[in-house]
A and B are shown apart, each in its own frame.
Chain A
Amino acid sequence: MTESGQRFCTACGTRLAPGRPFCTHCGKKLAGAGAPAVSAPGGNRAAFCVTDTRKLSRLLGDGVHGALAGYLDDAKEHGVDYAIVDLAGLKQDYRLEDVISFLKARVQAHGGTSAEGGPAVLILGDANIVPMAVFANQVDGDPDQDLDTDYPFAALCTDDPWAAPGGGLGPLLPVGRLPLGAGFGLADLEGYRKALRAFATTGNPRTLLGLSAQAWQPASEQVFRSIEGEGLQVSPPIGSAADTEQLIRANPDFLYFNLHGSDQDPGWFGQQAADYPRVVVPGTLARSSRPVVVGVEACYGTRFQGLDKNTSILLHALATGCVALAGSSRIAFGPPSPPIKLADVVIQGFLQAMIRGKPAGMALLQGRAAVLEDGSDRARQRKTFLAFNLFGDPLAALPASGKSAGAAARPGPLALAPMKLPMPDVLGMVRTAIAGSQMRVKLLMDAHVGRAHPGLKGVEPAFYQGRTASGGELYRFVYSRKAGPLLDLVMLDAYPDGTLRAELLGK
């Protein structure tokens, strides 16, 4: 504390923001802050913003600091305390491994995770500011030599995900990227900030638009119906970007696209036989006057590196009203007709979760987890898992009042349950937040519940930690949803490796 009452971080010397329990520059938890990272005073959630202010200032000027402060203030107003993980503190020629180690140390120093799925990570910068991982592509017969992914920011490790033992690709943290840089400047960030503010306060957004290549209509119909969409549009007859703009002018809130995409052209294309009309171009999505969420299955649906708003649908959309866009950095796979798989499944999971009120980062994790269970070729599952990334703030979510009727049916208090569960041989079960590798187990349990108990799909479980009678670690996930006078309830006990130990049902 200084004479003027200002406080400074003892680790990095940065002036401390009043009311924040950690340094917004280096992330150091402050003495006396008390609460773990996830629960800042006032109930705010902690999250991490990975950026490089040195590189950004060099590229975009000194306005970067003000823009960043403004963004963080907005976030705080909406209950999120972003701690900045500034890569300017690293040696100049850092590699992705250095970035992930740096972030991991900050996350561990905070020691907290949230019941919403771990502290979120917002990457603020394009791949030249904050590097994106590039892994070799190991799908046989696939023209892509490699693929870009932000997966290491979720896993907090840079190990080759193709070599993960047992196929485990358990994501840990919700991650999203805002590609601030040469193709997306400070004015664009301001545009995004405005849209995010509007999204966080908008009322009852529930309208959907789906647009599919006619050749894939049957698969798209299944995806669209599953997210409660009606009246899927197909191309052709939708035959141009102007046609799509007319649809966008009706101000749908959630946009689902199952179209062709190319590494040679900024557009997305419909298809009927040899006819491939270009139906979405940069600027098409800006015709909406309301903020939108986009899930796109197109190959190269998120191409942005080396591009600008005129040549990238993603960059244009983020600058003009899109708060979250999930899509593929490379060739994406999916069938023309049901059963839906791969790209269908990840986008279905993403949109479904967002419509139910989940934050965007968590929604993508749900989509990714579902892909690993879709029964398709293992290598293609992994590629889909890695290549589909989120662009936008990982904590972008519908306001509570805007959630759908289905989403409003959140788990009721367990005390209302007209049931009695037998007590398993477990000791010291304590309700707690889900931390670290427990998130992988939680996603496996979510997937199991989604399959075995569709009525509980999307429900956030209560989490308990304890031990078996023999001393082994045990997790318990309790999923419940009120159904009339009763309570649907499923209790899953699982070991830390994700093996299901017991399943108890109640009604």
Chain B
Amino acid sequence: MEAKEDHPREGYVVFLPWAPGSRSESLQPFLVTGPGSAVRLFCPGDNPFQNESLKACHLHWCSLRGQWDAGKSLLLVSDIRILEDPASGRPS
């Protein structure tokens, strides 16, 4: 495992199409932190295709902590919170 402790990050959590045309084609959760900057997320213990723990975060501005797995280019989420959306000023 190439995972290591990571600093808290903030951004929009968005479910995006993953590997279309493959035998793992699905919607996968990403943390979008800027233009062209997104990392794939996974909560250990979830069904990797249903991502139960992250579903409620879809399209919300979130703060999260986790470990970055460089080998899989994946952030293993240990804690996630939905915050006020900085774009609308409303609770997201």
Q: Which residues of A contact B (CB under 8 A)?
A: 142-143, 145, 216, 258-265, 269, 271, 274-276, 278, 297-300, 306, 328, 331-335, 343
Q: Which of B6-14, B44-52, B60-68, B84-92 contacts A (4 or more CB under 8 A)?
A: B44-52
Chain A proximity mask over B61-85: 1 for CB below 8 Å, otherwise 0? 0000000000011100000000000
Measured CB to CB, the closest approach of chain B to A464, in angstroms, equals 41
Given A263-B74, A276-B50: 15 more A-B contacts, CB < 8 Å? A142-B19, A142-B22, A143-B40, A145-B73, A258-B23, A260-B23, A263-B72, A269-B47, A271-B49, A276-B47, A299-B22, A328-B23, A331-B22, A334-B21, A335-B21
Of A276, A278, A299, which contacts B19 at CB under 8 A?
A: A299
29 example contacts (A-B, Cβ-Cβ < 8 A) are as follows A142-B19, A143-B19, A145-B73, A260-B49, A261-B23, A262-B24, A262-B48, A263-B74, A264-B42, A264-B44, A265-B47, A269-B48, A271-B26, A275-B50, A276-B47, A276-B49, A276-B50, A278-B47, A298-B23, A299-B23, A299-B24, A300-B24, A328-B23, A331-B23, A333-B22, A334-B22, A334-B23, A335-B21, A343-B23
**When each residue 31-60 of chain B gets 1 if its CB lies under 8 Å from chain A and 0 otherwise, what string results?**
000000000101010011110000000000
Do the beta carbons of A276 and B23 come within 8 Å of each other? Answer: no
Q: A314 CB to closest chain B CB, in angstroms? A: 16
Contacts A271-B49, A278-B47 given; indicate if A260 touches B18 (C-beta within 8 A). no
Determine the chain B residues whose CB is within 8 A of the CB of A260 once the complex forms: 23-24, 26, 49
What bracket does the count of chain B residues touching chain A fall in?
A: 10 to 19
Q: Which of B19, B23, B74 makes the CB contact (< 8 A) with A264?
A: B74
Chain B contact surface mostly:
loop
**Bound: A331/B40 CA distance, A:** 15
A224 to chain B, nearest CB (A): 16
Q: Shortest 4 CB-CB distances between A and B: which pairs?
A: A276-B49, A299-B24, A262-B48, A264-B48
User: Which among B40, B48, B49, B50 has the highest number of chain A CB atoms within 10 Å?
Assistant: B49
CA distance A277 to B44 in the complex (A): 17
Q: In the complex, what residues of A have CB within 8 A of residue B26's CB?
A: 260, 271, 276
The answer to whether B21 and A333 touch across the interface, beta carbons within 8 angstroms, is yes
* B74 cross-chain contacts in A, Cβ below 8 A: 263-264
Q: A276: which B residues are within 8 A, CB to CB?
A: 26, 47, 49-50
Chain B residue at minimal CB-CB distance from A297? B23
Contact between A269 and B49 (Cβ–Cβ < 8 Å)?
Answer: yes
Chain A residues with CB under 8 Å of B50's CB are 274-276
Are the CB atoms of A331 and B19 closer together than 8 Å?
A: yes
Please name all residues of chain A whose beta carbon is closer than 8 Å to the beta carbon of B72 when the two chains form the complex.
263-264
In the complex the two chains form, is B19's CB within 8 Å of A259's CB? no
Complexed CA–CA distance, A306 and B49 (Å): 22
In the assembly, what is the distance between CA of A332 and CA of B25, in Å?
A: 10
Is there an interface contact between B48 and A265, defined as CB atoms closer than 8 Å?
yes
- Taking a contact as CB atoms under 8 Å apart, the answer to whether B23 and A259 are in contact is yes
Q: Are B73 and A331 in contact (CB under 8 A)?
A: no
B49 partner residues in chain A, CB cutoff 8 A: 260, 262, 269, 271, 276
Q: Chain B residues near A335: list those with CB within 8 A.
A: 21
Chain A residues whose CB sits within 8 angstroms of the CB of B47 once the complex forms: 265, 269, 276, 278
B48 touches A331 (CB 8 A): no
Q: In the complex, which residue of chain A has the Cβ closest to the Cβ of B47?
A: A276
For the complex formed, measure the closest distance between the CB of B75 and the CB atoms of chain A, giving whole angstroms. Answer: 12
Chain B residues with CB below 8 A from A332, complex form: 22-24
For A335, give the chain B residue with the smallest CB separation: B21
Query: Among B19, B42, B73, which residue has the most Cβ atoms of chain A within 10 A?
Result: B19
Measured in the bound complex, the distance between the Cα atoms of B49 and A328 in whole Å is 18
A489 to B19, CA, bound (A): 44
- Kindly state the separation between the CA atoms of A217 and B24 in the bound complex, as whole angstroms: 15
Closest chain B residue to A299, Cβ basis = B24
Contact (Cβ within 8 A) A333 B73: no
Residues of chain A within 8 A of B23, CB atoms compared: 216, 258-261, 297-299, 328, 331-334, 343
* Min distance, Cβ A337 to any Cβ of chain B, angstroms: 12
CA distance A475 to B88 in the complex (A): 73
Q: Which of B22, B24, B26, B44 has the most CB of A within 10 A?
A: B22
CA A258 to CA B23, docked complex, whole Å: 8
Chain A CB within 10 Å — which of B42, B48, B72 has the most? B48
List of A residues within 8 angstroms of B19 by Cβ: 142-143, 299, 331
Say how far A318's CB is from chain B's closest CB, in angstroms. Answer: 21
With both chains docked as a complex, state the minimum distance between the C-beta of B79 and any C-beta of chain A, in angstroms.
Answer: 18
Q: How far is the CB of A416 from chain B (nearest CB, A)?
A: 45
- Give the residues in chain A near B48, CB-CB below 8 Å: 262, 264-265, 269
Across-interface contacts of A300 in B (CB, < 8 A): 24
Q: Which residues of A contact B18 (CB under 8 A)?
A: 143
Chain A residues near B73: list those with CB within 8 A.
Answer: 143, 145
Contact B24 A261 (CB under 8 A): yes
Which A residues lie within 8 Å of B24 (CB)? Answer: 260-262, 298-300, 331-332
In-complex Cβ contact of A306 among B1, B22, B40 (8 A): B1
A215 nearest in chain B by CB position: B25
Chain A residue at minimal CB-CB distance from B74? A264
